[in-house]
Structure 1
Amino acid sequence: MDFQRFLEDYKKKLSNIFSESKDAQENTLIRGIEDDTLSEILDLSPLAAFIPSEYGGYGAHTAEALSMLEASSYESLPLSLMMGINGALFLQPVANYANEEVKKDIYDRVINSNKLGGLMITEPDYGSDALKMQTSFQKIGENDYRIEGTKHWGGLTGMADYWLITAREMTSKGDLGRDISFFIHDTRNGGIEVEEYYNNLGLYMLPYGKNKIDITVGEDHKLQPKSTGVTMMLDLLHRSRLQFPGMGMGFLRRMMDEAIDHCRNRLVGGQSLIDYDQVKHRVSVIQAYFTVCSAMCNFTSTNVPLDKNTSRMDLEANTIKSLVTDYMQRASQSLLQLKGAMGYRLDSIAGRSVVDSRPFQIFEGSNDILYQQITESVLKMMRKLKKQNFHDFLSEFHLTKRSSEYFGDLLDFEIDPKMPQRKLVDLGKAIGRIISIEFTLNLGDQGFNKELVHNAVHVLQDEVNSIIQTYKTGGKSTVVENFETDSSWFKFATVNA
């Protein structure tokens, strides 16, 4: 199968559906996706990009999977998320951990019958605290498991043909074990009841909701971890986070194209909008985000083949996911500002992008938590190396060896290992950007546009300078408990007769 030919056909098809058809704008306001439209897309077998060649796929090459996600997100961010859920959260775990016969059947139905798969981890009372999930399983008979619980916010709720479902084992004493297991459920077997569909704020194409689960799954449909189930879950989540730049890439390119096109053609005060200095600044920052995301795609494509276990790549995964999703939201906000009032329409690419990109900062690890974890990862390495000076560590660490030299004495300070949480988050933001400079410099070494690289480095430097200043001197605000006391402005106002 020729991937490049597929990619050209795929781009043309998506452009026709999402940009050129007369109903394109109206379709963005409809929840779900028409069966005929979805069939048109899936008939081209985009998910084959995630499937090894021996099962009829294109080869499961990371670069090709990311380029398919990029093509999707240029035209539709929700579509790209749909493809990402299927690929990173279902098909890739199946490739690495599923029974061989089950794997063959799933891949055959995905490629030849346009079937979809999703992942259920999150529960109503245990969002970010996934290890305390209450969905349970028990062995029944020789070869079956019964799984019971409630899951929600699974993309493709009521729509997926397969679900990868997480659960903890119920012991003979009625307690839940500490480890996590994954089970593949074929919806033809029933047992999942959608109790509620959510009115999600954006991403209208993807149905979300709350699911009541009472299913029986065979032994052959249980994923087999190489070590523990928790390690398998880390591999799954880290691999997915490392591939976020694929979804971000097309989206940021679209934000950049839309901004430049609008600002060149929009006249304000007798001159083109692009001639104003503040507008140039906004556009240059969007270009920097595009460049950084390109560098992240390059890193993931080079360092994360399908068969690599990513369970220990927490620093790289958390950096990439948090930064690229922050940049997606910022770029959409800038485009909306540049487009003005017309951009505030929900059927405008600007307004829609603001709403659709926002949850990327929340799902698969809230960015606040991921930034904290970035700092904690670095502190752990510093303790192991018995280093306390921030710059000393960064100048020798393989992900920041070159980029740390761009900051002079700014990073030359001792880190307090007992810093409050808000400081952990601030420092994590800075570390993520310093690592991203390293990614960007490496991309420049390979021949990527040097002007874009220089611009991106300057933008990242400015951000790190600002964040470190806040880290050193800010963070002194506190919650006022008795805020009701003397807090009505009207009490102090003078009313003129």
Structure 2
Amino acid sequence: MPDSSTSVENKPFPQFLAEFKEKLRQLFHVRTDLNEISAQRGLPPFVLREIMAGNPLATYVPQRYGGRGGVSHEGLALTAAASYESLPLSLGFGINWALFLQPVIKYAQDEAKLPLLKKFLAERKMGGLMITEPGHGSDALRMQSCYTRHGDRYHLKGTKHWAGLTGWADFWLLTARQQNESGELMRDIDFFICDVAARDQHIVVEEVYQNLGIYMLPYGRNKVDVKIPVVQKLEPHSSGIKMMLDLLHRSRMQFPGMGMGFIQRMLDEAVAHCRDRVVGGRSLFTYDQVQQRLARLQSAFTVCSAMCLNSSHKVSIENDMAPHGLEANAVKTYLTDLMQSTAQSLLQLVGAKGYRLNHIAGRAIVDSRPFQIFEGSNDILYIQIGEAIQKQLQRAKNANLLTLLSGMELTVLAADRLRQLLDFSVRTHLPQRKLTELGKVVSRIVAMDQVIRLGQTPFNKELIQSSLSHIEQELTALFSSFNFSNLHNFYEGYEENSSWLNCYQS
């Protein structure tokens, strides 16, 4: 049970959220200029101190450990509130939530977990996760970081990079593979809590990267050579790989929290600009092409709203997310594609003045782009979705896509709406490029299903119908691409006889 030194002030969440939003507004629009500080590396210390003073990360911690509750919909709402003002700030919150606190709360031993959470809340600490290694980015199962046990400690060695909060986090979850007596690395992956302020647990930052975008958060290359007490090893319920999948799938399902505020900000900025901007003697808002872009932004807002509602019911740490890779990958890929496309639309509408790092449009382009890469590159995740669908078709011994999707809970409502588009057979042994296209199709159908379910609530019905039409239009184009045969590959020696200048005849 929490004691008085760790328990947070028990305000009703709506009040807590409103005060948090007002604090961000004061910090970023009154006391500082967010456009200016976002174009610089890091964050002014007083800004971070003021943000953390209200203990916002306590929202992600259950009440039994002294937090606000760790309730999914509150966590998503807080992350969305942060991303409306600053996508990097929201990412920092998301790292602490999905990649540190949730796995610690679910899998850590009490002897390590209880004092850690007490310190985390009382002293406003931060935590992160180190998985990625140079040479082993998306191929995490081949990581070379290793550990051996010596008495009551594990000795971990390796190199990690692209971990958000590099040099800032007070605690890290480190991943490594056990090294046996013959020097070989075991297949499974284990997780360890590292307290960088404790003896023999300091992590050396060898290089701080000049990352393109997300300037507020530090990334870099870290040398790991630490000795971790045995009580700081996480205890998987089955295997370490399944624990990692549970962690990553839950994190991907929580991406809509970061996307929600960001997409709403893109929409609000676009509407405000188009109403005020006069072109050709009339408001930019009155042009048909502009209306189309704004409608797409509005559709992205609706899709992300549906994803937030869906995730609110599913991502509790009591649920095992390891088996839900298809849904998690579908949510992460389409949501991050929408984040980038809404940023591109805002920049197109704003024009030249938006093409600056100290303007929200230009900053949004570079800040949202890496979301399509980290925690699984979208190209790879789309292929994984396509492969999962193809395997299910093979198991069913029926290649008809409509039949399959009509029987899946994730897609049953959307499949009924898309019967004409889906009523065809998918051939076996698709090349990767076609698996990617199939993955894109399925991700949109999953999203459409979630929008239909959102439409069964009091949510604005005009937004629902507009969004469904936009998704269906996008699906029509994707199916056209999927059914078009183009298997041309890169031509080796393209430089030969390929100079247009040599073809010019005066």
Deviation, structure 1 residue 376: 1.4
CA contact (8 A) 2:421 2:476 kept: yes
Deviation, structure 1 residue 22: 4.5
- Counterpart amino acid of 1:234? L
Number of the residue aligned with 2:169? 160
- Output the CA distance in 1 between the equivalents of 2:419 and 2:50: 54
Deviation, structure 1 residue 396: 1.8
Number of the residue aligned with 2:400? 389
**Structure 2: which 5+ runs fail to align?**
1-9
- Output the CA distance in 2 between the equivalents of 1:37 and 1:363: 26
SS of aligned partner of 1:90: helix
CA contact (8 A) 1:49 1:57 kept: yes
Give the counterpart of 1:69 among 75, 79, 102.
79
Deviation, structure 1 residue 382: 2.2
Deviation, structure 1 residue 420: 0.2
Aligned pair in 2 of structure 1 residues 269, 88: CA closer, same or farther (>3 Å)?
same
SS of aligned partner of 1:262: helix
Residues 204-260 of structure 1, C-alpha deviation per residue, up to 9 Å, x if partnerless? Answer: 011000001100001110000000000000000000000000000000000000011
- After the TM superposition, which residues 195-274 of structure 1 pair with which residues of structure 2 at under 5 Å, given as runs? 195-274=206-285
Give yes or no for the alignment of 1:138 onto 2:186: no
Residues 16-60 of structure 1, C-alpha deviation per residue, up to 9 Å, x if partnerless? Answer: 122333433211112111221111001111111110001111111
Residues 320-352 of structure 1, C-alpha deviation per residue, up to 9 Å, x if partnerless? Answer: 000100000000000000000111111111000
Give the counterpart of 2:464 among 453, 461, 465.
453
CA contact (8 A) 2:145 2:158 kept: yes
- Output the CA distance in 2 between the equivalents of 1:79 and 1:15: 13
- Output the CA distance in 1 between the equivalents of 2:389 and 2:147: 36
Number of the residue aligned with 2:195? 186
Stretch deviating more after TM superposition (1-10 or 343-352): 1-10
- After the TM superposition, which residues 2-41 of structure 1 pair with which residues of structure 2 at under 5 Å, given as runs? 2=11, 3-41=13-51
CA contact (8 A) 1:61 1:306 kept: no
Give the counterpart of 1:434 among 422, 434, 445.
445
- Output the CA distance in 1 between the equivalents of 2:410 and 2:34: 43
- Output the CA distance in 1 between the equivalents of 2:213 and 2:339: 15
Deviation, structure 1 residue 377: 1.5
Give the counterpart of 1:288 among 274, 299, 310.
299
Number of the residue aligned with 2:7? none
Stretch deviating more after TM superposition (199-208 or 187-196): 187-196
- Output the CA distance in 2 between the equivalents of 1:474 and 1:412: 19
- Output the CA distance in 2 between the equivalents of 1:35 and 1:103: 28
Number of the residue aligned with 2:314? 303
- Counterpart amino acid of 1:155? G
- Counterpart amino acid of 2:175? T
SS of aligned partner of 1:188: coil
Deviation, structure 1 residue 178: 0.1
Number of the residue aligned with 2:182? 173
- Output the CA distance in 1 between the equivalents of 2:449 and 2:398: 21
- Output the CA distance in 1 between the equivalents of 2:31 and 2:285: 29
- Output the CA distance in 2 between the equivalents of 1:475 and 1:239: 36
SS of aligned partner of 2:351: helix
- Output the CA distance in 1 between the equivalents of 2:245 and 2:375: 11
- Counterpart amino acid of 1:113? E
- Output the CA distance in 2 between the equivalents of 1:57 and 1:4: 16
SS of aligned partner of 2:421: coil
CA contact (8 A) 2:254 2:315 kept: no
Q: Which runs of 4+ in 1 moved over 6 A?
A: none
CA RMSD in angstroms comes to: 1.0
Stretch deviating more after TM superposition (388-397 or 66-75): 388-397
**Structure 1: which 5+ runs fail to align?**
none
CA contact (8 A) 2:145 2:177 kept: yes
- Output the CA distance in 2 between the equivalents of 1:474 and 1:251: 37
Give the counterpart of 2:494 among 460, 483, 487.
483
Number of the residue aligned with 2:93? 83
Residues 266-311 of structure 1, C-alpha deviation per residue, up to 9 Å, x if partnerless? Answer: 1100111111010000000010001000000000001222211100
Number of the residue aligned with 1:359? 370
- Counterpart amino acid of 1:80? S
Count matched residues: 494
CA contact (8 A) 1:39 1:114 kept: no
Stretch deviating more after TM superposition (21-30 or 358-367): 21-30
Give yes or no for the alignment of 1:492 onto 2:503: yes
Q: Among the aligned pairs, what percent are the same residue?
A: 49
Give the TM-score normalised by the residue count of structure 1. 0.98
SS of aligned partner of 1:483: coil
